[in-house]
Structures are given as structure tokens and as C-alpha cells.
Structure 1
């Protein structure tokens, strides 16, 4: 039987959140208004919302 690799189940979402953060930071750095700023807000807001959800909100339940 082949051993099951746990790379993607373990590191999939952290990699996605890291890429989203990097895209948001680059977009905020190089944009000058308009869609670039909106992209930066969304890409930087989603990881913050995930951290709030798993850090504060989920702990209370």
C-alpha cells in the first residue's frame, strides 16, 4: 500500500492565504486607484477575516 502524503491537506489553505496576501500587497504597492485598490482590499481582507474567524469567533463556541 502506498503511503498517503499529507502535504496538500496540511499546507493547501496556508499556501492559498499566503498567495492571496502577496497578491494584495503587490496590488496595493503598484496600483493607483480604481480596480487595483479594490483588489488589494479584497485580497488583504480575506486572510484577516479568516484569522478573526478561527482566532476569536470559533474559539467562543
Structure 2
């Protein structure tokens, strides 16, 4: 059961956590936090573009 759950929901949960971290970092921090926010928020977009052209 656990293996099936992680196989199905692992990537969406990871992308959600990355997005939440990116939004909080971009809103609350300056300097390096802005860069981390941009990087973490661009990961889901990169994966969408990758799968679109696949």
C-alpha cells in the first residue's frame, strides 16, 4: 500500500512542497532567497514543458 501511494502521489507532493517553499522564500526574503524562490518555482514549469514536448 505504501509503495503504491508514494508511486502515485510522490511527485505531486514534492512539486507542491517546492512551490510552497518557493512562494514563501520569494515573499519573505531578499537576495539569495529571491534566487531560491525563482529556482524552486521554475521546477514545475520546466517539468510541464518537458512533458508537453515529450
TM-score, normalising length from structure 2?
0.89
Runs of 4+ in 1 over 2 A off after TM superposition: none
Question: Which consecutive residues of structure 1, in runs of 5 or more, have no partner in the other structure?
Answer: none
| Matched positions, count | 52
Q: 1:40 aligns with which of 37, 40, 46?
A: 37
> Alignment RMSD, CA only?
0.8
1:49 is aligned to: 46
Rg comparison, structure with higher value? 1
Q: Which runs of 5+ in 2 are unaligned?
A: none
TM-score by length of 1: 0.80
